[in-house]
Structure 1
Amino acid sequence: RAAAAEALAAVAGIPVVAVDTPSGVDVDTGELAGPHVCADVTVTFGTHKVAHLVDPAAMHSGVVHLVDIGLKLPEPALEALQPSDVAALLPRPDRQAHKYTRGVVGVRAGSTTYPGAALLSVAGAACGFAGMVRFVGDAEVRDQVRAAYPEVVGEGRVQAWVVGSGSDATAEEALGVALDDDVPLVVDAAALEFADRVTGRPAVLTPHAGELATMLGAERADVEARPLHHLRTAVDLFRTTVLLKGRHSLIGEPGRPVRVTTTGVPWLATAGAGDVLGGLIGALLAAGLSPYDAASVGSWLHGAAATLASQDGPIVASDVARALPGVVATLPA
């Protein structure tokens, strides 16, 4: 309201503590529609609200401190995994495991134009969650991948595919071949242009705001202003798992609560980070997680690995892949 906005303007520059939620934000959507409080700290009660977790409102909540006051809560519309949740979902090999029982993930990524995308996708896929990684691509790129990752092998049977990162003009063909195997797949980057071919199938679509805008015929600015709305629209349209990448990534699937990823640091906004994420999710799919859980766990681990690798300093995408085993080691047993 005008009087509240005027009062806020009078104390501009002074730290603000919000009680429950910052005034002026939409609590149930995380959207902003006018003047609002930009809090340094928010103290909330009972449970987190959507506005604490979903941008852009979450960016104006500051540090959120949750006080448990013993409320009996309904089923959530939104979830944020915690380390114990990730630990419970994480695929771990049993004593009888061998490379095939742990799952084989295939990567169809990269091109002569973008060979780095293949290397980074494989880096995520070869993080150790799957028993084997297969790479299929241009011979020149294949040689670079094998030089960097001698454990990676060639074409053959897989339990999941990762398709699209850096694929350039070959994305449609790569997606079509992967679909013929009838296994879950991660669809990223150039392959998202053909996402309608994945409708209703077990898959994880991994757009950022610009790519999702193109997929929905929307404006990028509107997707960034209403990410939860547009994620749900995409889930309804494609009837599969959608991961909308961002500061707080959102994961949706038909009939399930939206999950939000709160791990990560601003340094994670670096070229190739999405390629690593796609490979990681593919490995989790091959290891037996559902698309919904693979996207959620993969996104959480990706952000946590970036935080571990960064130590408040700059990182590159390959640092994130290397930090993944260290993150797993910190999870509760």
Structure 2
Amino acid sequence: MLSAHAVSVVREAEQALMDRLPEGALMRRAATGLAVHCARMLPRVYGSRVTLMVGGGDNGGDALFAGADLAARGAFVRAVLAGKRAHPGGLAALRAAGGRVIGDGPAAAAGSSTPSGAAGEARATENSGSAENREVHRARISEEAESALFDTDLIVDGLLGIGGRGGLREPFAALAALASNSPAPVVAVDLPSGVDADTGVVAGSAVRADATVTFGTYKPGLFVDPGAERAGRVHFVDIGLAPELPGATLLRPQAVDIARLLPTPSAEDDKYRRGVLAVRAGSDRYRGAAVLCVGGALRTGAGMVRYGGGEEVLAQVIARWPETVGVHLDPASGTGLGPGRVSAVVVGSGRGTDPADADELRALLESDVPALLDADALTLVAESASLADLVRRRRAHTLLTPHAGEMSRLLPDTDRAEIEAHRLEQAERAAGLYRSTVLLKGSTTVIAHPGAPAVVNPTGTPLLATAGSGDVLSGAAGALLAAGLSAQDAGTCAAYLHGRAAVLARDGAPISASDLLDALPLAVAEVLSA
């Protein structure tokens, strides 16, 4: 698992390491790694043009020292100073290597705290990110600085560090806009300026990078949208921080991690040991939900699927998946999990929200088997205090799989836009409120569990934005619950496989949810061969 740590933790670890190192050694380690990755993004170093956007913090110092390394190798490096001050050692190193500093104020001269640089006298203390304000500040940015951002082969974003909050202020916002419009690629130092390092929130203007070089540990904002979408490809530079770091704030699995978690059948296994999943999804009105959910479970390795539903949907499930053990079950007349042995249950996709469906959900929640709640089941929980209380009191593993709209019902004081903007925070909040594992679907799928680091899925793709894909995910996660995985591990593995299946299904071309069913075994095989 790739580990990410909160800013406060990183600061403490950095200080502990710096106390044992010569002054400036940690920054030089970071700058050297940054220079290496910048060189890889250039067609060649000698003769290339590099423009640094430099603020007054340590990230600005990293950019200046990296620029000095590139200038010493023959690159033409210009530093656009945007803050009130700049790192004096970095400025001196850049000048000594032949780099050029754009600006004529005290910061450009000596790195003092007096305002200067590309913005000249045009700085603002308020967060003024409107288009009108950006145009005003752009007009005040020197023509030389603007030219440097367009007449270059690479832009290095060293405006703000990991402590930045609330979007970019001027003139930083104007510089970020210029960088976005430049034809040159942008590499961010540690984190794109304007992205909240702890949450990935983008509260205003922010740099959009093609690549980010991060130091010591990953930052949560690099893994969670909308920040992750602005980070581009993330490169990690080891600066020796690991021994100083505690447990992770956030985790991101790789293929090898999923392979370790996936259950692998042994010679002694039979269909019962591999897990029996009860599916209470779909209805005579929404038959496709049942077919897709059952298929997702079977193609992810369920030993047996027991389906219960109306006569018409049952016939369609059996016609598509004859290996399913089906029973005609009208929620109005039967709510239990029987007949037969069951290891876990999936409920909700296309099931309905009638009183009979609420009674069925109540019976399932009162059972002692792991349960996955999706779609209509989540709506029923959101509308019923007694059902919500049953979820909280369950001792068996419970996995809730909402998208942002369903989450807004589970968290009635929070609208969809707030959830999408603060995905990590809201997923962790819901997990604590319902005392369950919450898999928040979306551009970044977050799997949160009370008292444990949240997990973010790296395989998400817009290809999954198609009707029915969530039903397949529910079946896949349910199969893994039935096989004995915890709710968080089942959600983590299912989300990873689901994303890979979407890409493998048609080599990245558009798909339908049904395409995922044939691709899930391909995704499992890919992971196990990693």
TM-score above 0.5, yes or no: yes
Largest Rg, 1 or 2:
2
What's 1:224 paired with?
Answer: 420
Structure 1 segment 101-250 matched on structure 2, within 5 A = 101-154=273-326, 155-170=339-354, 171-195=357-381, 196=388, 197-201=390-394, 202-217=397-412, 218-250=414-446
Deviation (angstroms), 1:46: 2.6
Q: SS state of the match for residue 161, structure 1?
A: strand
CA displacement at 1:2 relative to structure 2: 0.4
Using structure 2 for the length normalisation, give the TM-score: 0.61
Task: Decide whether the 8 Å contact of 1:52 with 1:58 is kept in 2.
Answer: yes
Identity %: 52
Name the aligned partner's letter for residue 256 of structure 1: A
Deviates more, 1:21-30 or 1:38-47: 38-47
**Separation (CA, whole Å) in 1 of partners of 2:324 and 2:240:** 51
Could you tell me whether the CA contact under 8 Å between 1:206 and 1:242 is conserved in 2?
yes
Asked if 1:30 is matched to 2:181, the reply is no
CA drift of 1:332 comes to 4.2
Question: Using a 3 Å threshold, how does the CA distance of structure 1 residues 42 and 112 change in structure 2: closer, same or farther?
Answer: same
Q: d(CA) in 2 for partners of 1:209 and 1:181?
A: 28
Name the SS of the counterpart of 2:309 in structure 1.
Answer: coil
What is the deviation of 1:101? 1.2
Determine if contact 2:353/2:379 at 8 Å carries over to the other structure.
no
Is 207-216 or 60-69 further displaced after alignment?
A: 60-69
CA distance in 2, matches of 1:252, 1:31: 17
Q: Give the conservation status (yes or no) of the 8 Å contact 2:216–2:240.
A: yes
Contact 1:102 1:131 in 2 (8 A): yes
TM-score w.r.t. structure 1 length? 0.96
Letter in 2 for 1:214: R
What stretches of structure 2 of length at least 5 have no aligned partner?
1-168, 327-338, 382-387
SS at match of 2:419: helix
Matched residue, 1:46: 216
What is the deviation of 1:200?
A: 3.7
CA contact (8 A) 2:180 2:208 kept: no
When the two structures are aligned, how many residues end up with a matched partner?
Answer: 333
Shift >4 Å, 4+ stretches: none
Give SS of 1:156's match: coil
CA contact (8 A) 2:502 2:508 kept: no
Superposed CA RMSD in Å reads 1.4
Q: Which runs of 5+ in 1 are unaligned?
A: none
User: What SS class does the counterpart of residue 444 from structure 2 fall into?
Assistant: coil
Cα distance change on mapping 1:174 and 1:55 into 2, 3 Å? same
Q: Where does 1:223-302 land on structure 2 (aligned, <5 Å)?
A: 223-302=419-498
Partner of 1:124, secondary structure, is: helix
Task: Flag the structure with more relative contact order, 1 or 2, with Cα contacts below 8 A and sequence separation at least 6.
Answer: 1
Cα distance, 1:128 vs structure 2: 4.4
2:504 aligned to 268, 293, 308, which one?
308
